[in-house]
């Protein structure tokens, strides 16, 4: 069990380490190998085998950890159409065990002792030894069945990282790679990021339900989540790139058929107020899109934020409609709808997108209008409207809009 958890956390550590040099790199798990790192075009850069042993000890040249990794790589490369030496991904073994001197493990290290010719010669010698253990016989034979040129290409691609930290020693290295500086909140921040990562790992490992699976996670997403978490503890505000101005008549007309306008018409708002609210809606959409595009915030946090806005709206809506009778006139219903709108705007204007920071009021008000724009298609838990009867009206929005 520790080995599986180690694989998951090692993927996080390696992704964090790469993020400083290439934020576009992506990671996936258990497809071609334990852990894979990909270019943005989904071409594998590296296939990584993670081997965790609590009792460190020495790596064995005839052991299962290495030869099963070799067999796994040979099989994976077939799925990559047997890439040439130039296109070969890095084949990396990360082990908590140590590499003894004068073994092919040392010759395959990333350090000054690396000697690919000696490594190949020694691997061929060990693989061909009839006295080797039966547990690795098929894997060693698979290696020997490769052409000499292919064996050479394979060995050139292999890197062995021995003496890797065991599971209980990963946290300090992970905090360092994430840029989490020592503080009173450092452990809490690290645990929160790891909690998010385990959720991502479940999606990476999902194979049956398309709605729950993810193909990969990028270093940009990880850094974005890190900034969200650490920003919460230091009160770091999101940068505002949009400059508010009144919308032109053409811009307002472009929204005339949208539900966001229809909802405001249902409660009898005059054109001037509709234009004012549309301005917030327009710029909140643009700013949120820019934050997502530049990885300032994650889609998951946007989803959490919208849930918080919905809660604020629901409080305002329930308080003003709980004693509403069927005989209340349409004029009174519109008046109540305007009260709901005003109360909601007051409540959401102070709701920060990043907890512990300050968010421009129009982000909250505009985002609430964004939820109202989706009222006809949203899940019932996310429907939002101003008119007391908005739910019934949303069932036939076109007919109501004509009226």
Task: Note the pLDDT tens digit of each residue in 274-330.
Answer: 999 999 999 999 999 999 988 888 898 999 999 999 999 999 999 999 988 888 999
- The residue segments making up the domain with residue 66 are 2-174
Q: How much is the pLDDT for 54?
A: 84
Q: Are strands 44-51 and 35-38 parallel, antiparallel or unpaired?
A: antiparallel
Residue 185 forms part of a structural domain:
no
b (16+ CB within 10 A) / e for 127-147:
beeeebeeebeebbebbeeee
DSSP letter at 134?
A: G
Compute how many other C-beta atoms are within 10 angstroms of the C-beta atom of residue 233: 17
Phi-psi label, residue 71: left if phi above 0, alpha if psi -120 to 50, beta otherwise:
alpha
Both 6 and 141 in a single domain?
A: yes
Residue 271 burial (10 A CB sphere; 0-12, 13-18, 19+): exposed
The domain boundary, picked from 145, 174, 203, lies at 174
Both 31 and 169 in a single domain?
A: yes
Q: Which helix (DSSP H) or strand (DSSP E) does residue 184 occupy?
A: none
Which residue ranges of the chain lie beneath pLDDT 70?
Answer: 81-86, 397-403
Instruction: Count structural domains, the chain.
Output: 2
CA distance linking residue 106 with residue 39, whole number of Å:
29
CA distance linking residue 396 with residue 403, whole number of Å:
11
Q: What backbone torsions phi and psi does residue 92 show, to the nearest 5 degrees? A: -120, 130
The domain boundary, picked from 174, 198, 214, lies at 174
Q: Which residues contact 384 (CB under 8 A, 6 or more apart)?
A: 310, 313, 368, 371, 372, 375, 378
Both 263 and 395 in a single domain?
A: yes
Q: Which residues contact 272 (CB under 8 A, 6 or more apart)?
A: none
Residue 83 forms part of a structural domain:
yes
Both 259 and 393 in a single domain?
A: yes
Residue 183 forms part of a structural domain:
no
Both 254 and 169 in a single domain?
A: no
Q: How much is the pLDDT for 345?
A: 97
The whole-angstrom distance between residue 14's C-alpha and the CA centroid of its chain comes to: 15
Both 19 and 147 in a single domain?
A: yes
Residue 184 forms part of a structural domain:
no
Encoded tokens for 248 = 């032109």
Tell me the CA distances in angstroms from 88 to 46, 74, 127, 166, one per residue in order. 9, 11, 22, 29
Residue 208 forms part of a structural domain:
no
Compute how many other C-beta atoms are within 10 angstroms of the C-beta atom of residue 379: 7
Residue 200 forms part of a structural domain:
no
Both 124 and 254 in a single domain?
A: no
The domain boundary, picked from 117, 148, 174, lies at 174
Q: Which residues contact 183 (CB under 8 A, 6 or more apart)?
A: 233
Contact indicator for 152, 120 with CB cutoff of 8 Å: yes
- Output the pTM of the full model: 0.70
Both 262 and 384 in a single domain?
A: yes
Both 265 and 142 in a single domain?
A: no
Residue 67 forms part of a structural domain:
yes
Q: Residues 65-101: pLDDT tens digits?
A: 999 999 999 999 988 866 665 578 999 999 999 999 9
Give the gyration radius of the chain's Cα atoms.
29
């Amino acid at each position: 069990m520790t080995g599986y958890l180690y694989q998951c956390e090692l993927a996080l550590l390696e992704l964090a380490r790469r993020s400083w040099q290439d934020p576009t790199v992506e990671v996936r798990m258990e497809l071609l190998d334990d852990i894979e790192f990909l270019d943005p075009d989904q071409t594998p850069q590296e296939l990584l085998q993670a081997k965790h042993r609590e009792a460190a000890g020495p790596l064995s040249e005839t052991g299962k950890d290495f030869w099963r990794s070799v067999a796994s790589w040979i099989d994976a490369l077939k799925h990559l159409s047997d890439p040439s030496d130039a296109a070969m991904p890095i084949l990396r073994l990360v082990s908590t065990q140590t590499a003894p001197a004068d073994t092919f493990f040392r010759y395959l290290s990333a350090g000054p002792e690396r000697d690919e010719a000696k490594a190949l010669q020694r691997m061929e010698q060990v693989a061909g030894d009839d006295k080797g253990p039966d547990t690795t016989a098929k894997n060693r034979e698979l290696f020997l069945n490769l052409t000499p040129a292919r064996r050479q290409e394979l060995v050139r691609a292999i890197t062995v990282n021995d003496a890797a930290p065991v599971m209980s020693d990963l946290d300090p290295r992970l905090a360092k790679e994430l840029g989490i500086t020592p503080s009173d909140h450092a452990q809490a921040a690290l645990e929160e990021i790891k909690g998010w990562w385990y959720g991502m790992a479940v999606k990476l490992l999902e194979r049956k339900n398309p709605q729950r699976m993810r193909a990969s996670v990028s270093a940009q997403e990880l850094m974005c989540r890190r900034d969200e978490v650490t920003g919460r503890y230091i009160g770091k505000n999101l940068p505002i790139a949009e400059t508010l101005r009144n919308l032109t008549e053409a811009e307002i007309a472009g929204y005339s058929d949208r539900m966001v306008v229809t909802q405001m018409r249902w409660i009898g708002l005059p054109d001037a107020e509709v234009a004012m609210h549309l301005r917030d809606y327009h710029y909140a959409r643009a700013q949120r899109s820019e934050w997502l595009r530049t990885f300032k915030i994650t889609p998951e946090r946007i989803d959490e934020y919208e849930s918080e806005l919905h809660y604020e709206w629901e409080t305002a809506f329930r308080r003003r409609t709980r004693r509403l009778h069927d005989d209340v006139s349409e004029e009174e219903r519109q008046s109540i709808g305007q009260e709901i709108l005003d109360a909601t705007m007051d409540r959401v204007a102070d709701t920060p997108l990043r907890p512990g920071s300050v968010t421009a009021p129009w982000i909250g008000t505009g985002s609430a209008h964004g939820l109202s724009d989706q009222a006809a298609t949203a899940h019932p838990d996310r429907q939002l409207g101003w008119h007391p009867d908005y739910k019934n009206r949303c069932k036939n929005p076109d007919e109501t809009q004509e009226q």
